[in-house]
Amino acid sequence: MMNRTAKDKCILRADDLLARATSSREVLTFYRHVLELQQRIDEELRSRSAPEPRQATPLREQLDAEVAAKWLPALFTVTKEKAPAKLAGEVSRIQDLYAQSERRLLQNYINGSDVDDVAATFVARVLVEPCARFLALQSTFSTTGSESTCPLCGGKPQLAVLRPEGDGGKRYLQCSFCLTEWEFRRVLCPTCAETDYTKLPRYSAEEPMAVRVEACDTCKSYLKSFDTTLDGLLIPEVDEIAFPALDIWASEQGYRKIQLNLMGF
């Protein structure tokens, strides 16, 4: 049997979730098309000769906006044809606005500059993410368990994930920029470093129990957490998109997400 790539597994997981999705079906259906485009980018990157690792050079400095920019027409097409109407309209606006400076948009995102527009961030993130992930997989790093940003690229955490370890689970954070996971202490807020467990509540819906909101009552931030000790089929970056109801609930409680996901919620 052919070995499945990470994106193959993500697409299969999206298909599985689509079979059960209700309120998130439209967004998840479009996200599946995004995954297919990212898979094409990943396949092209892996078909090239593997570059020599440059561990001393920061990951973001190794990224080439031109590599991502060549996929802009494909992204604009899939968004126009498959995206929910509101997002399709916003991306069309971005296409017109950045018609002469699309590479600058991508380079600003790579540099970590604020891209103060959800649709512009979506465009940059879809195309840069597989390039950043490709480099991240060739890199090594060490952590203390308390780094609040990605040790490879400095990106904010998108989500938390509990991985099986011994008789329990070990907590990791996943980067919103390059998808790197790094170990992170169980009782610690990634935003303000609060360590009082009474101020770090966790909330979950009745279903699925493996998906939770991890919040902080000190700084009012939150992220979603995915417990693979309860559900080994979870793929956090896909399941994060599939359960927006928890984000809506957290926002209604006055919490703000550390980092919006690729789809802008």
Task: Please check whether residue 143 lies inside any domain of the structure.
Answer: no
pTM of the predicted structure, to 2 decimals: 0.94
Domain range for 12 is 6-136
Final residue of a structural domain among 102, 136, 170: 136
Do 129 and 212 share a domain, yes or no?
A: no
- Per DSSP, the chain holds a count of helices (H) and strands (E) of 10, 7
Do 95 and 162 share a domain, yes or no?
A: no
Task: Please check whether residue 149 lies inside any domain of the structure.
Answer: no
Do 164 and 131 share a domain, yes or no?
A: no
Task: Please check whether residue 145 lies inside any domain of the structure.
Answer: no
Final residue of a structural domain among 70, 104, 136: 136
Do 189 and 71 share a domain, yes or no?
A: no
Do 113 and 161 share a domain, yes or no?
A: no
Q: Is the pLDDT assigned to residue 233 strictly greater than 80?
A: yes
**Which residues does 100 contact at the CB level (< 8 Å), separation at least 6?**
none
pLDDT level of residue 205 (50, 70, 90 thresholds): confident
Do 130 and 210 share a domain, yes or no?
A: no
Kindly write down the DSSP assignment for every residue of 92-117, as one continuous string. HHHHHHTTTTHHHHHHHHHHT-----
Does residue 37 contact residue 75 with C-beta atoms inside 8 Å? yes
Do 131 and 164 share a domain, yes or no?
A: no
pLDDT, tens digit, 9 for 90 and up, residues 144-185: 999 999 999 999 999 999 999 887 889 999 999 999 999 999
pLDDT, tens digit, 9 for 90 and up, residues 49-80: 655 656 678 999 999 999 999 999 999 999 99
Task: Please check whether residue 230 lies inside any domain of the structure.
Answer: yes
Task: Please check whether residue 148 lies inside any domain of the structure.
Answer: no
